[in-house]
Chains A and B, each alone.
Chain A
């Protein structure tokens, strides 16, 4: 039983399916995230797949600042992801609102709306740091497994 649990936990870390949501990014970070899929960075070597469906996703990757318009969409995407899941905030805007933080409709970073596990800084964030962030987020699954099912 313990063996199976260990194996499952290993599989969870070897197979992160990523859902990418662009809150209101300038597309700088999004292009860097797409670069992760290209032959140079090839994120699939870590088993990661870019999925377009929250029901299939393990890691939610958010770029851009949260505003009054997209907060509900972000919450809904997070709600539709089955446990265990992790959230990655990528880029200055997703971290704190960035240069838009004082705008009248901007709420701030992603953590104003949903719990964030890993913050990836940068403007834009580099592909290397995005990859590093995804791998760091996977450590969360190990932690969850150690502390039993979180519900």
Chain B
């Protein structure tokens, strides 16, 4: 009961502040490009507006998948902040991540099809890496409970530097930032801009937008586990990673999907697995 209340409270705060992070992101991106940029509250305006638009669907699956995607992301975030098992968090977020791709593939639109297929490729690239990263965290802190790293005597980062590097790669995909924004991105960095989201419009796009806020928070939360013993360390680490992602997003072009797979299945998996072996032995 207590856990449920914590999870719901965390979700409420996430919905309240999730948009601010995206708003700051857009503002900062604009400043990097020497523009003024939208107001910080812009993501909330976008979501409210989308929610009030006329629902248009080419397939009823699209709407179901938008709700499913949000439910998966929300459940994963709730479980994470309630201190539940990290593997449970992982599989819940995987369900939330797969459903939008299913919805995109349910439509005959070639843009949506390409976006959906690329999203599946992204999942194939980062999900194994994320699983090994969480396994490393579990091994190093002696428990798979999400709040176990909080009770350690020292931070995890010194013993898991390679794992952290692998997590940074995963962040790139989950935050939909260049050079790993193969399936969809916020900016016209490539030939297929909204890809995955092509057939999601109005209310269903609003749901996926909110799901993206929650995903971003979950990934920043996982990042925080690496310096969970001090609040300052945690805040500094999250801020540095987030700023780094935005700078990288603005400074790099997109990689093609063979590159994506090569980076994640090669260095990504190797880094995480090497660190896992180091921790275990």
Contact = CB atoms under 8 A, between A and B. Distances in A.
Given A55-B201, A56-B205, A82-B54, A47 B37 contact: no
A2 to B, nearest CB: 14
A80 B35 CA distance: 31
A58 B55 CA distance: 13
Interface stretch (B162-170, B192-200, B244-252): B192-200
A55 B46 contact: no
B42 to A, nearest CB: 5
Interface residues of A, number: 24
A50 to B, nearest CB: 8
A11 B48 CA distance: 6
Contact of B194 (A7, A15, A46, A56): A56
Nearest to B194: A53
Given A8-B48, A14-B45, A51-B194, A44 B38 contact: yes
A8 B52 contact: yes
B116 interface: no
B48 A84 contact: no
B53 A83 contact: yes
A44 B30 contact: yes
Interface of A: 7-8, 10-12, 14-15, 39, 42, 44-47, 50-53, 55-56, 58, 80, 82-84
Which 5 residue pairs are nearest across A and B when measured between Cβ atoms? A11-B48, A55-B201, A82-B54, A14-B45, A42-B35
Interface of B: 26, 30, 33-39, 42, 44-46, 48-49, 51-56, 111, 188, 193-194, 197-202, 205
Given A52-B188, A55-B201, A83-B54, 11 more contacts: A15-B48, A39-B34, A42-B36, A44-B26, A44-B38, A51-B194, A55-B198, A55-B199, A82-B55, A82-B202, A84-B53
26 contacts: A8-B49, A10-B45, A11-B46, A11-B49, A11-B52, A12-B49, A14-B42, A14-B45, A14-B49, A15-B48, A44-B26, A44-B35, A44-B38, A47-B39, A47-B45, A53-B111, A53-B198, A55-B198, A55-B201, A55-B202, A56-B201, A80-B56, A82-B53, A82-B201, A82-B202, A83-B53
